[in-house]
DNA sequence: CTCGTTGCAAAGGATTTGCACAAGT
DNA sequence: ACTTGTGCAAATCCTTTGCAACGAG
C-alpha cells in the first residue's frame, strides 16, 4: 500500500506550537504523549490509530516506553477537538487521522487503499449546490471520495484485456 | 434521528427480479434469507447491518425465525457484489447499506445523523477534475459527504445567539 | 500541592470464521 | 444427489472504561 499524495499543508513542526497554546487555553496539560501522538499523525500523513500506535512503539525502541493504545485513542480525540487533526472513515473499521493546517478532502482507492489529499476547492461547486438546494453545509475536511486510482485501473485493464 | 431524504430510485419491487437473475448467472441460489435481506435494505432506505438484522427479527415476529447475523453480513456482501446494494462508511464503525437502481452520493449530518440521497450528477465536475488531474475514477455510489443539515444549523444558531 | 493524565487490565460491541446440518436446483 | 447456504458458537478486532499511581503546572 503506497502513500504519496500531494502535500497541501501541515508540516510536522507547525503543529507543535499551536498544541501547547490550545491546551493552555483550556487548562489542559502538555504531556510528552500528546506531543508524540501529534507528531506521529503529522509524520504518517494518513494513519489509523493502530498505525499511529505502531509508529510510536517503533520510535520508542525496545527500551523506551510508548504511549498506551488507550492514550493514543484519547489523545486523537482530544487533538481533533483542538482542531489539530482530522479523521475520516474509509473502508471497514479503519478511521484515518491526519494533521493539517487547512481542511481538505481526500480520495481513497478502493482497490489498493492509497489515500490522496486533493485541492480544498474540489468540492466548492457541489457544496454550493447542496447549500442552495438543501441548506446542507459540507464539512470538506471530513470528506473522502472512494474510487479507483490510475495504477489500479491500469492494472485491472491489463489483466482482463 | 429522522430519515427522509429525496427518493431517487429503487423501489422495493424492482430489486426482487434482478436478484433471482443475477444469482442464477453465477450459479448461486435464491434463498428466502437473501430475499428478505434485500427487501429489508430497500425498505429501510439507509440502514446498518445491525438495523437490518433488527428489522428482520421484527418482521419474523416471536414465532418465525429471522436470518442469523452472520447470514445478514454474508448476504450484504454478496448483494453488493451483485450490484444490488451499496454501502458507505459514515460515523464511527457504522457502515450503511442502501438498495438503488442507480448509484448516487449521500450527505450525512454529523450532528443528527440524518442521511440524504442527492442527485447523481452532484459530483460530476469534481469527478472530471480528479480524472484529469490524477487519473482517479470516483465511485459515486460510495461517496458520503459529511456536514451539517439545515435543521441542525438552525438549532445551533438559536442556542448560541 | 492539586487535578488532569497515563497505563493496565478488563469489558464491550461489531464482524468474521469453522463446521455440521438444512435446503435450493 | 450435489453443492451451496444457514445457524450456532467461538474467535477476533478495535475501542472504550474503571481505577490507582504519576506527573505537569
Confidence band, pLDDT 50/70/90 cuts, at residue A160: very low
- State the pLDDT at residue A3: 40
Confidence class for position B37, pLDDT limits 50, 70, 90: very high
Mean pLDDT (whole number) for B93-112: 83
| Residue A33 pLDDT > 70 | yes
> Does position B10 have pLDDT exceeding 80, yes or no?
no
pLDDT > 90? residue B9: no
pTM score: 0.80
Instruction: DSSP letter for B47, please.
Output: B
B105: nearest CA partner in chain A = A145
CA B16 / C1′ D14 distance in Å? 36
B3: pLDDT strictly greater than 70: no
DSSP state of B13: H
Q: B102 and chain A: CB distance < 8 Å anywhere?
A: no
Cell output for B71: 447470514
**Contact criterion met (CB below 8 Å) for B100 and B10:** yes
Q: Which of A93, A130, A147 sits opposite B118 (nearest CB)?
A: A130
Portion of chain A with pLDDT greater than 70, in percent? 84
Q: Which bases in strand D are touched by protein, i.e. have an atom under 7 Å from a CB?
A: 4-9, 14-18, 23-25
Task: Summarize pLDDT for B42-79 with one digit per residue, the tens.
Answer: 999 889 999 999 999 999 887 788 999 999 999 999 99
B117-130 pLDDT, tens per residue?
899 999 999 999 99
CB contact under 8 A, B110 and A138: no
CB of B64 nearer than 7 A to strand D: no
Domains of chain A, residue spans: 1-100, 102-161
- Picking from A137, A2, A87, the residue whose alpha carbon sits closest to that of residue B147 is A137
- pLDDT value of position B140: 87
For residue B153, with 0-12 CB atoms within 10 Å meaning exposed, 13-18 middle and 19 or more buried, which class applies?
A: middle
CATH code given to domain B1-100: 1.10.10.10
Q: Which residues have a Cβ under 8 Å from the Cβ of A47 and sit 6 or more positions away?
A: A40, A41, A55, A96, A97, A98
Cell digits of residue A39: 507528531
Average pLDDT, chain A: 84
- Mark the nucleotides of strand C covered by protein, meaning any atom under 7 Å from a CB: 4-10, 14-18, 23-25
Q: Taking every pair of C-alpha atoms in chain B, what is the biggest distance, in angstroms?
A: 62
* Cα separation, B140 vs B135, whole angstroms: 15
Q: Are B79 and B41 contacting, i.e. CB atoms less than 8 angstroms apart? A: yes
Asked if the Cβ–Cβ distance from A135 to B149 is below 8 Å, we say yes
How far is Cα B22 from Cα B160, in angstroms, rounded to an integer?
A: 53
Residue pairs between chains A and B whose CB atoms are closer than 8 Å: 100
Say whether A53 sits in a helix, a strand or coil: helix
Residue B136 near residue A149, CB atoms below 8 Å: yes
Average pLDDT, chain B: 84
Contact (CB<8Å) B136/A126? no
CB–CB contact B136 A147 (8 Å):
yes
B136 close to A (CB below 8 A): yes
Whether A95 has a pLDDT exceeding 70, the answer reads: yes
A70-80 pLDDT, tens per residue? 999 999 999 99
Distance B66 CA to C18 C1' (A): 22
Question: What torsion, rounded to 10 degrees, do the Cα atoms B46, B49, B50, B56 define?
Answer: 80
Partner-chain contact A130 B146, CB within 8 Å: no
* Tally of CB atoms within 10 A around A85: 22
C-alpha distances in Å from residue B14, one per residue of A84, B18, B34, B43, B101: 47, 8, 15, 12, 8
* Fold that domain B102-161 belongs to in CATH: Dna Ligase; domain 1 (3.30.1490)
The better pLDDT of the pair B123, B146 is held by B123
Amino acid at each position: 500500500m503506497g502513500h504519496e499524495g500531494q502535500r497541501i499543508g501541515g508540516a510536522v513542526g507547525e503543529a507543535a506550537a499551536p498544541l501547547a497554546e490550545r491546551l493552555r487555553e483550556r487548562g489542559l496539560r502538555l504531556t510528552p504523549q500528546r506531543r508524540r501522538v501529534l507528531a506521529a499523525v503529522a509524520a504518517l500523513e494518513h494513519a489509523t490509530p493502530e498505525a499511529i500506535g505502531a509508529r510510536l512503539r517503533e520510535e520508542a525502541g525496545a527500551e523506551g516506553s510508548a504511549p498506551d493504545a488507550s492514550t493514543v485513542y484519547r489523545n486523537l480525540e482530544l487533538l481533533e477537538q483542538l482542531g489539530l487533526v482530522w479523521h475520516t472513515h474509509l473502508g471497514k473499521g479503519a478511521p484515518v487521522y491526519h494533521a493539517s493546517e487547512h481542511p481538505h478532502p481526500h480520495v481513497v482507492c478502493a482497490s489498493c487503499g492509497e489515500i490522496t489529499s486533493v485541492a480544498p476547492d474540489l468540492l466548492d461547486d457541489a457544496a454550493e449546490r447542496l447549500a442552495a438546494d438543501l441548506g446542507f453545509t459540507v464539512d470538506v475536511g471530513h470528506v473522502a471520495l472512494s474510487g479507483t486510482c490510475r495504477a489500479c485501473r491500469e492494472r485491472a485493464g491489463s489483466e482482463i484485456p
